[in-house]
Amino acid sequence: MAIHPIDFRYGTLEMKRVWEEETKLQKMLEVEAALAMAEAELEMIPMEAAVEINKKKSTEFVKLERVKEIESVTKHDVVSVVKAFAEQCEGNAGEYIHFGSTSNDIIDTAQSLQFKDACDIILEKLKTLRSELLKKAEGHKNTVCIGRTHGQHAVPTTYGMKFALWATEIQRHVERLETCKKRLCVSMITGAVGTMAAIGENGILVHNRVGEILELTPVLISNQVVQRDRHGEFMSILALIAQTLNKIGITVRSMQRSEIKELEEEFDASKQTGSSTMPHKRNPITFEQICGLSRIVKANALAEFDNIPLWEERDLTNSSSERCLFPESCVIIDHILNLSIKGMRKLTVNIENVNKNLELTKGLIMAERVMMFLANSGMGRQTGHETVRRCAMKAHDEGRHLKEVLLEEPEIMKYVSVAEIEKMFDYTTYIGLAPEIVENVIIESKNWK
């Protein structure tokens, strides 16, 4: 019976397969087989035993059901894998499985193989989202809209700026995850408390060779576990990605408010239902789900931080929590990346409402432009600011257009003509270098990998 929503509601099969029990078992078998081969190459165990072990390193032979059956008796997950693996090996090859290693050598190294696959999936989705944002930035490079600070109308900007800003943030996440992946996906065959005593004088050679076979970087030093600062960094990056998606989602949801309605996510009016009681509703459910699930990823990062300070050489407090934290965070981040990609592809910019909202404050958004014109015309910046501020407050309180109030102000009309005042209230000509800035992002993106 399914309990957790990622079992039946959230996530892709692709990411779920990375973290399912059978995949974990398969990765553990691969690590045990790599260990046996490394030791056989160094003549520590018979080569024929290593060959047999490698021949049976598959869940085709070592069944998850049998591992669980053994674990119900042994109460130890790795011992159960070793015993089930040994049962499938002919002759005495099974005697050489897990030779000189300890449980976390296998668990942490196998987990690195899972992280490697998970990172590849996440990176691919990040790059796809980045591409969708860049397309939107290019398409709306010159779409003038109101900029908002503190939730209040500020000065004009463009929707291209918004999309380009998000694209560059996603690119930073790509760079973070790619560098983190090198630190996260590491191998470890160092034995109890990390000294390699059970392996003996060939310990470092075995340790390094296992890394080569599995295409993982061997840790330089451990104390029986791969140090959890690596995992904390990974979870922090997932939390950062989640918060960026949260930020995008908040903006889309805010701009989809009925009284603003500049943006709208996909809604199939022919059959989609927005409410069980209000037939008219068109709710931003895609981006609401992104925002809601992002909170779990953020919270999980904090939980992983508590796994960094384990007792002395190790304890087991990280193990139980990480069984939940890693799969859950990876599945959820993959899910909300998928939603973000789909949501961005289908996102509509309502130009009519964008233009209507530019006019909402009756020209107050041009106050800065007038102030700077006066400052450049000889009035002085501070005097200009105070003079325009008084006019803006008067226009606001009287519900009049700022242009009308400015034309009545003798101190202002000494420095500006009526024609110049008229010209200053063309919002499309006060977006600074926004199109050029967006174009620079698009040009720079050609160098992104």
CB 339 within 8 A of CB 290: yes
Cβ atoms of 129 and 341 within 8 Å: the answer is: yes
> DSSP assignment, residue 219?
P
Q: How far apart are CA 30 and CA 59, in angstroms?
A: 10
Pick from 363, 333, 381: nearest CA to 427: 363
What is the number of alpha carbons within 13 Å of residue 445 lying toward its C-beta? 24
Tokens matching residue 411: 């101190």
Helix (H) or strand (E) segment spanning residue 218: strand 217-218
With a CB cutoff of 8 Å and minimum separation 6, the contacts of 385 are: 371, 375
Beta carbons of 240 and 298 less than 8 angstroms apart: no
Q: Is 102 left (phi over 0), alpha (psi -120 to 50) or beta?
A: beta
Q: Would you say how long the chain is, in residues?
A: 449
Catalytic residues: 150, 275
Tokens 């045990």: give the residue: 32
Residue 28 sits at the vertex; the CA angle it makes with 22 and 33, to the nearest 5 degrees, is 125
Mind giving me the DSSP string for 135-190?
Answer: HHHHHTTT-EEEEEETTEEEEEEEHHHHHHHHHHHHHHHHHHHHHHHHHHSEE---
CB 31 within 8 A of CB 210: yes
Which residues contact residue 231 at a Cβ distance below 8 angstroms, ignoring those fewer than 6 apart? Answer: 184, 304, 307, 322, 326
Cα–Cα dist 426/157, whole Å:
13
CB distance 324 to 332 below 8 Å: no
CA dist 155 → 139, 357, 361, 367, 425 (Å): 21, 12, 11, 9, 11
- CA of 336: how far to CAs of 107, 155, 296, 297, 304, in Å? 28, 32, 11, 10, 20
